[in-house]
């Protein structure tokens, strides 16, 4: 499968714990995006990378959130001291070079904070 | 007011019907317009992509963009039960900027 992959698919954690999610984009895609989706809402942008550089962060990305993309390949999203409000689907998308903005999404990581 | 407005439905239609899904937006800087389909507990799947105004057709799907009215539409002809999903509109200002999504419209096609 050459699509975007995410791991884990589901994560249940207790409030206050740290969690880390991984995204593997489509190979050769140099842009990678993280979004968060809550029930009944569309995805909301969190942050994006071009190669290894983090180019933009949303105001939604509090200081408890950090994202990395070492070597411009896979990316990780870490949430420290999780809160119940962090419960959501975390989606990763990637796109290749070129003018058009076709972003391809992974299956998402569903986070439940108890 | 949100940048992108989309009626969440739910919308229920009989099999074979023509479905019309719509979004309005407020930011005139949006130039790239997309429709995604999302099945329950899955990631969004890109269906249609349009740059600026105009129409685009792909099989049973037609996307329309009217920038003067800030209004985009997705038409599904000969709808099938397998089309039952949530349809998300999305748009962006440029080729690199993040997508701004509507809430999604939940569609059920009844056999």
Residue-wise pLDDT for B61-103, tens only, equals 999 999 999 999 999 999 999 999 999 999 999 878 899 999 9
Per-residue pLDDT, B104: 96
Q: What percent of chain A has pLDDT over 90?
A: 81
Q: How confident is the model at residue A28 (pLDDT cuts 50, 70, 90)?
A: confident
Residue (of A62, A111, A71) closest to A91 by Cα position? A111
Q: What is the mean pLDDT of residues A36-63?
A: 93
State mean pLDDT over B3-9: 91
The shortest C-alpha distance from A15 to chain B (Å) reads 23
Mean pLDDT of A15-22: 98
Is the Cβ of A11 closer than 8 Å to some Cβ of chain B? Answer: no
| Chain B contact set for A110 (CB, 8 A) | 41
Considering only CA atoms, which of B17, B33, B29 is closest in space to residue B73? B33
Say whether B42 and A107 touch across the interface (CB within 8 A).
yes
The pLDDT of residue A1 is above 60: no
Model pLDDT, residue B90: 96
Which of B 18-77 lie inside 8 A of A, CB atoms?
Answer: 32, 34, 36, 41-46, 49, 51
Minimum Cα–Cα distance from B106: chain A residue: A40
- Residue B96: the pLDDT is 80
Nearest residue of B to residue A40, measured between CA atoms: B103
Q: How confident is the model at residue A99 (pLDDT cuts 50, 70, 90)?
A: low
Q: What is the DSSP annotation of B58-73? A: ETTEEEEEETTTTEEE
Among the residue ranges A6-10, A101-105, B60-64, B68-72, the one predicted with the least confidence is: A101-105
Q: Provide the b/e sequence for A71-109 (b: ≥16 CB within 10 Å).
A: ebebbebebeebeeebbbbbbbbbbeeeeebebbbbbbb
């Amino acid at each position: 499968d050459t699509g975007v992959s995410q791991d884990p698919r589901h994560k249940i954690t207790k409030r206050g714990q740290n969690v880390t999610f991984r995204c593997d984009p489509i190979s050769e895609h140099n842009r990678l995006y993280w979004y968060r989706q809550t029930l009944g809402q569309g995805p909301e942008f969190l942050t994006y990378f071009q190669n290894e550089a983090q180019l933009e962060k949303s105001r939604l990305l509090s200081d408890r959130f950090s994202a990395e993309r070492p070597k411009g390949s896979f990316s990780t999203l870490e949430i420290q001291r999780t809160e119940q409000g962090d419960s959501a689907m975390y989606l990763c998308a990637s796109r290749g070079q070129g003018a058009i903005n076709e972003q391809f999404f992974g299956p998402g990581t569903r986070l439940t904070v108890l | 007011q949100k940048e992108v407005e989309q009626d969440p439905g739910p919308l229920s239609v009989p099999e074979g019907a023509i479905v019309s899904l719509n979004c309005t937006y407020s930011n005139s800087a949006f130039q790239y317009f997309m429709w995604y389909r999302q099945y329950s507990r899955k990631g969004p799947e890109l269906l249609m992509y349009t740059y600026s105004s105009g129409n685009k057709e792909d099989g049973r799907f037609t996307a329309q963009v009217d920038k003067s009215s800030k209004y985009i539409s997705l038409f599904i002809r000969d709808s099938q039960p397998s089309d039952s999903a949530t349809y998300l509109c999305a748009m962006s200002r440029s080729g690199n900027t993040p997508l701004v999504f509507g809430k999604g419209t939940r569609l059920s096609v009844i056999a």
